[in-house]
Chains A and B, each alone.
Chain A
Amino acid sequence: MKSKPTLDDLIGVEHSKLGYYRELQQKVAEVEISNLELARRQRQIQAILDGITDVMMVLSLNLKIVSVNHVFQDVFRVPEPEGKFCHEVFRSAPQPCSSCPVITSRESNRVCRHLAIYPVDGQNRHFEITASPLRNPDGKPCLILLLMRDVTLEKELQAKYYQSQRMATIGVLAAGVAHEINNPLTAISGFAEGLKRRLPRIEKTIDQELMDDFSEYLGIILKECQRCQEIVQSLLTFGRQTCPESSPVNLNNLVNDTLKLLQNQLKQYRKDLIQVELDESLPPVQGNESQLKQVVLDLLFNALDATQEKGAIILRTSSGNGDWVSFSIEDTGYGIPSEHMDRLFEPFFTTKPVGKGVGIGLSTCYNIVDQHGGEIQVESEEGKGSTFIVKLPRENRNGSLQSNPNPGS
């Protein structure tokens, strides 16, 4: 039995009819606290969302844009995309694209990844697209979250990486082949020399006509051997991953020296064919002068070969923004067919007639520039001309090559 009521209990001075006011106050206080907490979480989530550097958008199931993040505006600059169809916004197309990750995700109720290229500011850019269904409590998709990451840079780096891998492989291969050929070639040339030396001793015993044939044939053998040896030599140079001596080089002087060197050969061309635009304030680069001279020579020869009588070649140096010093050769020649662009720097790739070139020049240039920590870019339009731009790292204070501290590896 509970404690028995007392008279004071019956009078109940301290007890009143309980109302909900107190409970209401408590509830209001609780709601206020939970509201603050919700607002804080909301801000936190918003901060997280704002921190995402990918384009993010929410699409309805019929591909209409529900909302976008600020990155969307930074990248695509489409005013008020909400309510428009995504294919209208990205492709200006009235119908959904044929392989649409959103539709795949909607139908499969799964995350779907996809690579696509969209034009942005006139340039095609690669996007990695992830479409994830946002599910309602029944687990059915009700909205689609679309994340778009610009992977153009990654794609370019990947392409460069593959290119340099291929070049390295070919280089090693070429050097090996050259080395193997060099020995028999030395034997052939040595023994041909021997035959040539011994030829006077049989001069008296054979008739003059035969003697002339022998003499001519041996001459051809020796001449061709010489040519082979030159090719082999350049192949060996190409393949040799050496660490050349480097010193500060002024690209302006380099260009002028090279032109002086070619003074004789250039006489056959129009005088105003080659124009020079040099940046007087060009800082020096760290490099091997003779190697860099070879790059200028090779590129200049290519430009001369490509340019007609009436064309023009412009040699430029400039210290662009940042850490680069660049040298470029612009010509108004044939231009390079787009299908050749990818193979331009491969050894033995040439469009010149047999005997005019073996396709070593540009690949050598590529190697040299690569070893200097720089890069070669090509812009070309078929029929209008090409521009080769060599970018080299600006000399830094301790005098070593910047981007490629260990070029021999």
Chain B
Amino acid sequence: MELRKFSIPEIIFGRGSLRYVGRCARRIGAEKVFLVSDPGLEQAGWVDRLTETLEEEKLRWVYFNDVVSNPRDLQIEKGAAVYRRERADVVIALGGGSPMDAAKGIAVVASNGGQIRDYEGANRIQRPLPPMVFIPSTAGSGSDITQFAIITDVRRKVKMSIISRTLVPNISIIDPLVLQTKTRKLIIAAAIDAMSHAIESYVSNIASPFTELLSLQAIGLIVKHLHTAVETRSLDSLEQLSSASTVAGMAFSNAGLGADHALAHSLGGMFDTLHGLVHPVLLPAVMRFNLPECIEKMADIGRVLLGRRLGSSEATALGGIEKFEEFCESLEVGVHLKEIVRDKSELPNLCKMAVNDACLLTNPRKATCEDLLQICEGAW
């Protein structure tokens, strides 16, 4: 096997772990925290709960909530200006993928200067970032675990991937209690995102023994607990989703993703689509496209999804893909691309953009622009 690398943050996991935020920030040198969150979490009272822990540690903070879904470059640069003006130190993010990615972007620009687009690509960050403590409010984007940040370049309508080991947060605090206040739609979108992370990272061409187990673990947990979590909001099942999202994050941060995410990033950039709702549409088509290159692995996924093996590996793999489609339909989410992209003539542009996405590098089967277009047609 070629060289592999595995890195994750310190992780504090468990109900009520939110109360450790202040102490963690203090321990890594905070005096004035830069706190990123969003109005939804403010209303749910989680921001106040967090700042109470800062007060307990006698820490000052500056609060930044100018973040939207699919965070934008200008917001990042504005946040970095606030960070510098306020002479903040530790960056804390409480939220889903958007506030966390925004916080990463702000940390990069605040400490390295320039604009966020200067860091698009891999390993372009030259200087250390402020220490980061992330608290995911969804299960999940995995941004609290990964070396990725996805920021929208508004002018180019592109979701930029910024990849660097330096983007791995210092501490991830995962408190399942926070999930209780999320809407059904958000819980589903986040969980399916985590599922797609798990599936794509498992078949990635740089998956390793360290990531493969984690990927399968995440798939199993989500398929087992998502329905219960949505129906009952039981803390036990929400906790299982948190766990699944976290291990999926650990897997894909180190193994990468694939064509589904390459296309999803392009869709987000062009149509500002809610990221989690892209996978039910595209992932089955991508899995079928990849199948010839990784039948055994697809069969492993199928076995986890189905809970058993079918006659052959291929049958198990295909059964798994169908099971995934059924699973998504049962959650009442859209499964057709035409529900997201109104005009079919946009597809070539979409694919041209996606073929350049870094996620495509780890896709098990080499995919050209034409291949991607066919995938999209298949998902239409």
Q: B234 at interface (Cβ–Cβ under 8 A)?
A: no
Residues of B within 8 A of A12 (CB): 5, 122-123, 147, 163-165
Q: B125 at interface (Cβ–Cβ under 8 A)?
A: yes
Q: Is there contact, CB below 8 Å, between B128 and A18?
A: yes
Q: Is there contact, CB below 8 Å, between B125 and A5?
A: no
Chain A residue total in the interface (Cβ 8 A): 19
CA distance A15 to B122 in the complex (A): 10
CB distance from B365 to the nearest CB of A (A): 14
Per-residue CB contact flags for chain B residues 138-172 toward chain A (1 = under 8 Å, else 0) read: 00000000010000000000000101111010000
Q: Is there contact, CB below 8 Å, between B129 and A18?
A: yes
| CB contact under 8 A between A2 and B120, given known A9-B163, A15-B164, A16-B165 | yes
Q: B205 at interface (Cβ–Cβ under 8 A)?
A: yes
| CB contact under 8 A between A7 and B166, given known A17-B7, A18-B129, A19-B128 | no
Q: A6 at interface (Cβ–Cβ under 8 A)?
A: yes
Q: Which residue of A lies closest to B164 (CB)?
A: A15
Per-residue CB contact flags for chain A residues 17-41 toward chain B (1 = under 8 Å, else 0) read: 1111001000000000000000000
Describe B's contact surface by its main secondary structure.
Answer: loop
Q: Is there contact, CB below 8 Å, between B163 and A10?
A: yes
Q: Which residue of B lies closest to A1 (CB)?
A: B356
CA distance A17 to B165 in the complex (A): 5
| CB contact under 8 A between A20 and B128, given known A7-B362, A13-B5 | yes
Q: Is there contact, CB below 8 Å, between B358 and A4?
A: yes
CB distance from A239 to the nearest CB of B (A): 87
Interface residues of B in 202-255 (CB under 8 A from A): 205-206
Partner of B361, one of A2, A7, A17, A19: A7
CB distance from B68 to the nearest CB of A (A): 26
Q: A92 at interface (Cβ–Cβ under 8 A)?
A: no
CB distance from B163 to the nearest CB of A (A): 6
Q: How many A-B residue pairs have CB under 8 A?
A: 67
Partner of B4, one of A3, A4, A6, A11: A11
Q: Which residue of B lies closest to A24 (CB)?
A: B128
CA distance A351 to B122 in the complex (A): 109
Describe A's contact surface by its main secondary structure.
Answer: loop
Partner of A18, one of B125, B163, B362: B125
| CB contact under 8 A between A11 and B3, given known A2-B121, A18-B127, A19-B128 | yes
Q: Is there contact, CB below 8 Å, between A7 and B147?
A: no
Q: Quick one: which of A1, A6, A9 has the most chain B CB within 10 A?
A: A9
Interface residues of B in 89-144 (CB under 8 A from A): 120-129
Per-residue CB contact flags for chain A residues 92-103 toward chain B (1 = under 8 Å, else 0) read: 000000000000
Q: Is there contact, CB below 8 Å, between A4 and B127?
A: no
Q: B269 at interface (Cβ–Cβ under 8 A)?
A: no
CA distance A6 to B360 in the complex (A): 10
Q: Quick one: which of A4, A10, A16 has the most chain B CB within 10 A?
A: A10
Q: Is there contact, CB below 8 Å, between A10 and B125?
A: no
Partner of A10, one of B120, B126, B358: B358
CB distance from B298 to the nearest CB of A (A): 21
CA distance A104 to B3 in the complex (A): 80
CA distance A400 to B209 in the complex (A): 110
Q: Is there contact, CB below 8 Å, between A4 and B121?
A: yes
Residues of A within 8 A of B124 (CB): 2
Q: Is there contact, CB below 8 Å, between B3 and A13?
A: yes
| CB contact under 8 A between A5 and B122, given known A11-B4, A18-B166 | yes
Residues of B within 8 A of A10 (CB): 122, 163, 206, 256, 358, 361-362
Which residue numbers of B lie inside 8 Å of A, CB to CB? Answer: 3-5, 7, 120-129, 147, 161, 163-166, 168, 205-206, 256, 356, 358, 361-362
Which residue numbers of A lie inside 8 Å of B, CB to CB? Answer: 1-7, 9-13, 15-20, 23
Known: A5-B161, A17-B7, A18-B126. 6 other contacts (CB 8 A): A9-B123, A10-B122, A10-B362, A17-B166, A18-B127, A18-B128
